[in-house]
């Protein structure tokens, strides 16, 4: 998704209630070497284009991933 000033971000959303979103966001940011935040709606916003790498990391953690790269 493209944000202000043409900056690209990767949004990760749709988590079940039992997922530690804060911990997952921290792990993704650390492994991807990027910044990001957890939004009020529970989605993780990562700075930059990280669809393929984030998908791999989430699947390694045992999560099912559906990619919607629009």
pLDDT band for position 34 (50/70/90)?
A: very high
**HSE value, Cβ hemisphere, 13 Å, CA-based, for 50:** 25
Strand order in the sheet with 36-38: 9-12, 44-47, 36-38
Q: What is the pLDDT of residue 63?
A: 87
**Of 45, 41, 42, whose CA–CA distance to 8 is shortest?**
45
| 4 has pLDDT over 80 | no
Q: What is the pLDDT of residue 6?
A: 80
Tokens linked to 6: 């043409």
């Amino acid at each position: 998704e493209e944000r202000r000033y043409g900056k690209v971000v990767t949004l990760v959303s749709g988590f079940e209630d039992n997922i530690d979103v804060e911990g997952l966001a921290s792990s993704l940011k650390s492994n991807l070497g990027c910044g990001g935040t957890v939004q009020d709606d529970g989605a993780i916003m990562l700075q930059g284009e990280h669809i393929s790498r984030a998908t791999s990391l989430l699947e390694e953690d045992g999560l099912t991933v559906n990619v919607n790269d629009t």
